[in-house]
Homo-oligomer: A and B are copies of this chain.
Amino acid sequence: SDDGGRRKFMDFPFAAGPIRDAMVDLVSTVENRLASHLLPPALPPDVQYCRNDPGTAHASLHIRSGYNSSPVDFILGSWLHCKLPTGNGSLNITSLSAYLNTSTDAPNLLIELIQSSPDSLIFILDLPPRKDPVFHPDYLQEFYEETKLDTQRQVLEKLPEVRPYFSSSLYLRSILSPTAIIVRIDGGGRPGRVEEIVKECVHPVAKEVVGIWLEKCAMEKRGLGEEELACLKKRDGLIKSKTIEIDLGSNFPRLFGPEVSERLLGAVRMYYNV
- Which residues of A line the B interface, CB within 8 A? 132-135, 137, 140, 144-145, 150, 153, 157, 163-164, 166, 170-171, 173-175, 178-179, 234-235, 238-239, 242
Contact = CB atoms under 8 A, between A and B. Distances in A.
B134 A238 contact: yes
A144 B171 CA distance: 10
Q: How many copies does the complex hold?
A: 2
B134 A235 contact: yes
Nearest to A135: B235
A174 to B, nearest CB: 4
Given A133-B170, A137-B171, 13 more contacts: A134-B171, A134-B235, A134-B238, A134-B239, A135-B238, A137-B238, A137-B242, A140-B170, A140-B171, A140-B174, A144-B170, A145-B170, A150-B166
Contacts of A171: 133-134, 137, 140
A150 B174 CA distance: 13
Contacts of A150: 166, 170
A170 B143 CA distance: 11
A148 to B, nearest CB: 11
A178 to B, nearest CB: 4
A109 to B, nearest CB: 17
Instruction: Rank and list the top 10 A-B pairs by shortest CB-CB distance, nearest first.
Output: A173-B178, A132-B132, A133-B174, A170-B178, A164-B164, A174-B178, A134-B174, A134-B175, A144-B170, A140-B170
